[in-house]
Structure 1
Amino acid sequence: MRADPSVQLRLLDVQELDSRADTLRHRIGSVPEAQQLRELAAQRTQLSNEVRDLRIEVADLTREQKQADRDVEQVKTRRTRDQGMVDAGQIKDPKALERMLGELQSLHRRIGDLEDVELEVMERLETAETALTEREAQLASLEAHGEDLRTTVMTTTSDLDVQLAAVVRDREAAAEGLPEDLVALYEKLRANKGGVGAAPLRRRECGGCRLTLNASDLGVIARTPPDTVVRCEECDRILVRTPESGLAQPGSGDTGR
């Protein structure tokens, strides 16, 4: 493949801008607050479920307490009625009076049992309401923290997005007019080589794999026409010759110093 040396150098500009864009994209995707937001989301889900369950429990216990209150009041009303009949002397038959007094004792015991149930429900309701208040406060605090994190993420990524957009524009300008076959090769290598498809040859070192080329490889490159695209023997990336490559001049018999 052939490409003018100036075109090959422009490919290095494209590579630099692509690398900068990759870095910005990585930073956008790994903003610390974004990770905290993801962790916060899991905590929020758990807290929301707990709040939901506690609200259901409080509602159920509230109904249960109201029913317990009604049960107590109903029995008390009956006891008051029966006691009033006894006190008023309305029951003349001794056996009937005896039965009524026995029933009043049963009602008294029944009221005691129902009041115990009522008290137990009240205690359970109070415990559930306290837990609900605590969980709701925790959830509100968590959501407020989440809003702060979202604001930070938006601010941070907004700045990075602006930088990325500028780099993308510069990259498009740098790549404009480059040979399609050269760009296609570069993009293929970039996809397979960790984002680096073209690297400079400086001081006999490949800028892609960072290995120093041996004298034989340097000699081959030195004898290759400047408009021929060469590849690194080690990493296979496009190797762009620069004024600092350390290549011997053709016919000098030297590999460069």
Structure 2
Amino acid sequence: MKAAPEAQRRLLDLQAVDIALAQLAHRRKSLPELAEIEAVSREISALEDERVRAQVAVDDLDRDIARFEKDIEQVRARKDRDQKRLAAGGALREIEGLQHELATLNRRQSELEDSELELMEQRETAEQALNDVKGRLAAAEERRSAAEARRDEAYAEIGKEAEFKQSSRGPLVADLPADLIALYDKIRADSGLGAALVRSGRCGGCRIELYGADLNRVKSAPADDVVRCEECRRIMVRTAESGL
């Protein structure tokens, strides 16, 4: 392939733009905020599981307390009925039976109230645990939101830089021969670097020094020949720095 030496030299300008765009793309993918967001998201997921378990514990205790409340209310209602019957008087046997039942109901009420009190203490502890995990969850969500905001700010900055670089790429491509650009793009797609400056007899792509027949091949090639490295197959751009 043939291309004017100036066109070949301008490939280096194009390559510099493409390197900058690749660096911006890498920067976008490797922002520290991305790892932070992923780590905090895992933490939030674990905390959400913990919150659900803590909420279930509170709900279960609420249900048990409500059941005790119902049982205590039933005992109280039965006591009220017995006390009214006792106040109304009656046969001695009936009065004794009511007194015995009231004593039993009092013991039952005391037992239920003690059990309810124990459950209420357990609920207080469970609610504290629930509030604690809710607090940690809220803090983690705030950290994630802050990291997402920093990520979005970085994305916007990278996007502006990439847009600026991309806008400078168009005119470069338009001024270069289409077949030269096609070859450059193909090589760049395969290896990430389409063209490299030969400096001091060394390929700028693979950094291997030219010698022997390969050095003679490059030296003797006409200035408008598009020369490629035998090792990395990149276009070797020759300038006054090449030492040939």
How far, CA to CA, are the matches of 2:29 and 2:180 in structure 1? 30
- Matches of residues 50-199 of structure 1 in structure 2 within 5 Å? 50-86=50-86, 88=87, 90-94=89-93, 96-193=94-191, 195-199=192-196
Task: Check conservation: 2:89, 2:95, Cα contact below 8 A.
Answer: no
More helix by percentage? 2
- Please give the secondary structure, in 2, of the residue aligned with 1:239: strand
Give how far 1:72 is off: 0.9
- Please give the secondary structure, in 1, of the residue aligned with 2:171: helix
Aligned-pair identity in percent equals 39
Query: What's the RMSD between the two structures over aligned residues?
Result: 1.9
How far, CA to CA, are the matches of 2:193 and 2:121 in structure 1? 68
Give how far 1:65 is off: 1.6
How far, CA to CA, are the matches of 1:236 and 1:135 in structure 2? 59
How far, CA to CA, are the matches of 1:90 and 1:26 in structure 2? 94
Structure 2 residue runs of 5 or longer lacking an equivalent are: none
Query: Match of 1:61, as an amino acid?
Result: L
Query: Match of 1:159, as an amino acid?
Result: E
Query: Match of 2:114, as an amino acid?
Result: D
Is 2:11 aligned against 1:15?
Answer: no
Give how far 1:84 is off: 4.3
- Please give the secondary structure, in 1, of the residue aligned with 2:242: coil
How far, CA to CA, are the matches of 1:182 and 1:113 in structure 2? 94
Task: Check conservation: 1:187, 1:197, Cα contact below 8 A.
Answer: yes
Write the deviation string for residues 69-125 of structure 1: whole angstroms up to 9, x where unpaired.
121122023124323433x2613142x333323322322232233223312321232
The alignment covers a number of residue pairs equal to 244
- Please give the secondary structure, in 2, of the residue aligned with 1:233: coil
What TM-score, normalized by structure 1, do the two folds share? 0.87
Corresponding residue of 1:30 = 30
How far, CA to CA, are the matches of 1:143 and 1:79 in structure 2? 53
Give how far 1:210 is off: 0.8
Query: Match of 1:174, as an amino acid?
Result: L
Write the deviation string for residues 145-202 of structure 1: whole angstroms up to 9, x where unpaired.
2222222222222222111111111112211132222222222221221x11211111
Task: Check conservation: 1:5, 1:226, Cα contact below 8 A.
Answer: yes
Corresponding residue of 2:43 = 43
- Please give the secondary structure, in 2, of the residue aligned with 1:244: helix
What TM-score, normalized by structure 2, do the two folds share? 0.91
How far, CA to CA, are the matches of 1:238 and 1:31 in structure 2? 32
- Please give the secondary structure, in 1, of the residue aligned with 2:39: helix
